[in-house]
Structure 1
Amino acid sequence: MPRYALLRHTGAPDDPIGCHVDLLLEDGDTCRTWRLVTVPLLNRERQPAVPLPPHRLVWLEPRSAAVSGNRGWAERIHSGSYSGVLPIATDAAVTLQLKGDLQGRLHIAEGYCCLSNP
């Protein structure tokens, strides 16, 4: 099964809050990635999900490390696997079933993300 991870990313120069969460979904040899304000919680309000460039697969492994290019520090805080299919178009809606640290139906569309019961 493909994997997912959430990273706590601090010190990013383009982050006005100073701390955000990167959501990574394994997609072949890279990860599709979105910036979230916080970890998505089951059946809570949706939150903004800003698409980011693909991330390296190494971030799916347990680690805490400096981000290349002097872009802060990231550490993996949640992980697991997902079922479902990522659409080919990177701007299309995504609906997947998460298993692991977070469980539920992950939905990303129109710049927002939420986690709900399956």
Structure 2
Amino acid sequence: MPRYSLLRHTGAPNDPSGCHYDLLLEDGESCRTWRLGEIPKDDGSSQNANALPAHRLAWLEPRSAAVSGNRGWAERVMAGCYEGKLPEDSSHPVEIHLVEGDLQGRLLISNGNCCLLRT
């Protein structure tokens, strides 16, 4: 089953808030990644989800480390597995089920927004 991870990323030079979360979804040899402002809640509330370049699979493992290129610090704060398939075209909507982990429910990512629905 493919894995997901949520990283708390602090000190990124392009983040005026000083802290955000990177949501990673395992996709073959890398992870599709989105920047979120907060940890998703399973109440269906929506938040911005900005697509980021693919991240290495190593970030799916428990770790806390400096981000390359002097771009702050990241630590894994939540993780688990998901069911479903990611669309081949990364610009298409994502609809998967987070299972076996810290976050659970139906995750929807579309048009720059993300929400988690309790199932």
TM-score using structure 2 length: 0.98
Contact 2:3 2:82 in 1 (8 A): yes
Partner of 1:93: 93
1:33 alignment partner in structure 2: 33
The equivalent residue for 2:106 is: 105
Q: In structure 2, what is the equivalent of residue 20 of structure 1? A: 20
Equivalent in the alignment of 1:60: 60
How many Å separate the matches in 2 of 1:78 and 1:59? Answer: 11
Instruction: Tell me what 1:73 maps to.
Output: 73
Shift of 1:43: 1.0
- Gaps of at least 5 residues in structure 1 are none
RMSD: 0.6
User: Which one-letter code corresponds to 1:47 in the other structure?
Assistant: Q
Percent identity between matched residues is 64
Q: Which amino acid aligns with 1:115?
A: L
Residue 44 of structure 1 deviates from its aligned partner by 4.0
Query: How many pairs are equivalent?
Result: 118
Cα distance in 2 between the residues matched to 1:44 and 1:91: 21
Q: Secondary structure at the match of 1:45?
A: strand
Question: What SS is found at the alignment partner of 1:46?
Answer: strand
1:45 deviates by 1.5
Structure 2 runs not aligned, ≥5 long: none
Aligned to 1:45: 45
Are the counterparts in 1 of residues 44 and 118 from structure 2 also a CA contact under 8 Å? no
Aligned equivalent of 1:11: 11
TM-score computed with the length of structure 1 as normaliser: 0.98
Look up the equivalent residue of 2:27 and give its one-letter code.
D
What is the CA-CA distance between 1:36 and the residue it aligns to?
0.1
